[in-house]
């Protein structure tokens, strides 16, 4: 019966395509890691469908084990780490991920397969030596702890901030989905290997729902710090540092810088779905993104921008680049104002 593997494959493939589209439009390391994770889910479920319908081969068994049993949880955990500690993890994560993937592929591809069992056992016919068992257990155990622990820890951190309810719910769904996927192996002991794909389909759905929920802009109500607010109106002729008419996003940010303190700017950034964080330094890509925003701000807003904590400047740049830069240009035409 291949119904459940087909359902798991379709859900995983759809999730992969949607996350990949998001990563293509706004490339970020966490999105890329999540896209790879959903692709690995889809590969594993797709190989199960192909093996059930056309027969298993040793290469298919190894491919399934590499994608579904070894790597997928590790890449999910990598995406979670990019959200939890974006500045620190970015320095070594890409190289470490490639190294672990290469080691895993080498061990799995060299593992013998009992071809006499392929027709009845499918991917389970792969003979797991000590190295393969140690690798799978280490990646899955550490990855699950990082993913579930990080997701629920983030949800706990967001619980007191009404503006972060979407992120809190998203983290809870990701953690719950991971536990459901992890339960698949235990469910097969009830008598049918198909239960693995019921758990996979349900778990991937929850994880993807959590991803989508966590990317939603948070509620803005009550987000701005209390205190007197001086509204600054920018006339259509106001210009940025390049002499171009301010676009709508720069107008909003300039008003925040003129009217709010650092806590108020941070709250506004969080309400517009900026990644939370308190790192006192910028990674290379974040530094470039922050500098691009600073270079476009009107002169009167630059001192206020420079006075913000590093983490708040990064959040402000992220909001402009990932959200506000999609706004219509309005009066901005690319010509010098004047």
pLDDT in tens, 45-61: 999 899 989 899 999 99
Which residues, in sequence order, are CB contacts of 246 under 8 Å at separation 6+? Answer: 234, 238, 239, 240, 254, 298, 332
Residues of the chain with pLDDT > 70, as a percent, come to: 79
- Pair 46, 167 in one domain: yes
H/E stretch holding 285: helix 284-296
Residues 337/245, Cβ–Cβ less than 8 Å? yes
Q: What is the pLDDT of residue 241?
A: 46
Residue 184 has pLDDT above 80, yes or no: no
Of 201, 143, 198, nearest to 175 (Cα)? 143
Q: Sorting pLDDT into bands at 50, 70 and 90, what band is 337?
A: very low
H/E stretch holding 81: helix 72-84
Q: How many C-beta neighbours within 10 Å does residue 231 have?
A: 7
Range of the domain at 111: 3-214
Q: What is the DSSP code string of 8-49?
A: HHHHHHHHHHHHHHHHHHS--HHHHHHHHHHHHHHHHHHHHH
pLDDT in tens, 128-177: 889 999 998 999 889 889 888 888 887 887 777 666 677 788 888 888 88
Question: Which of 214, 229, 245 delimits the end of a domain?
Answer: 214
Q: What is the pLDDT of residue 109?
A: 93
- Pair 115, 99 in one domain: yes
Residue 335 has pLDDT above 80, yes or no: no
- Residue 148's domain is classified under what CATH number? 1.20.1070
Q: What is the mean pLDDT of the chain?
A: 79
Q: What is the pLDDT of residue 185?
A: 59
Residues of the chain with pLDDT > 90, as a percent, come to: 17
State the total domains in the chain: 2
Question: Which of 158, 188, 214 delimits the end of a domain?
Answer: 214
- Pair 163, 66 in one domain: yes
Which residue's structure tokens are 């339960």? 183
Q: Sorting pLDDT into bands at 50, 70 and 90, what band is 249?
A: confident
Q: What is the pLDDT of residue 278?
A: 64
Of 329, 36, 48, 39, nearest to 198 (Cα)? 48
């Amino acid at each position: 019966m291949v119904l459940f593997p087909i359902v798991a494959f379709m859900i995983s493939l759809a999730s992969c395509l949607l996350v990949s589209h998001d990563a293509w439009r706004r490339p970020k390391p966490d999105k890329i890691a999540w896209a790879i994770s959903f692709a690995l889910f889809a590969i594993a479920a797709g190989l199960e469908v192909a093996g059930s319908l056309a027969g298993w081969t040793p290469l298919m068994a190894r491919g399934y084990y590499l994608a579904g049993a070894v790597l997928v949880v590790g890449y999910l955990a990598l995406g979670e780490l990019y959200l939890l500690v974006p500045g620190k993890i970015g320095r070594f994560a890409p190289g470490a991920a490639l190294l672990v993937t290469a080691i895993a592929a080498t061990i799995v591809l060299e593992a013998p397969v009992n071809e006499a069992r392929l027709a009845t056992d499918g991917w389970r016919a792969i003979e797991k030596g000590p190295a393969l068992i140690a690798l799978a257990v280490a990646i899955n155990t550490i990855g699950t702890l990082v993913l579930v622990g990080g997701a629920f820890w983030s949800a706990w951190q967001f619980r007191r901030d009404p503006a972060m309810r979407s992120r809190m719910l998203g983290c809870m769904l990701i953690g719950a989905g991971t536990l459901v996927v992890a339960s698949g192996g235990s469910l097969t002991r009830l008598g049918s290997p198909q239960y693995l794909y019921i758990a996979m389909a349900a778990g991937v759905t929850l994880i993807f729902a959590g991803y989508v929920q966590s990317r939603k802009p948070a509620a803005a109500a009550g987000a701005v710090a209390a205190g007197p607010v001086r509204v600054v109106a920018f006339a259509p002729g106001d210009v940025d540092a390049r002499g171009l008419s301010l676009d709508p996003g720069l107008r909003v940010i300039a008003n925040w810088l003129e009217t709010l303190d650092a806590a108020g700017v941070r709250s506004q950034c969080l309400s517009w779905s900026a990644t939370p964080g308190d790192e006192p330094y910028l990674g290379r890509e974040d530094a470039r993104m922050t500098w691009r925003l600073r270079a476009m701000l009107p002169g009167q807003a630059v001192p206020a921008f420079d006075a913000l904590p590093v983490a708040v400047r990064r959040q402000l740049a992220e909001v402009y680049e990932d959200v506000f830069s999609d706004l219509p240009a309005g009066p901005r035409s690319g010509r010098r104002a004047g």
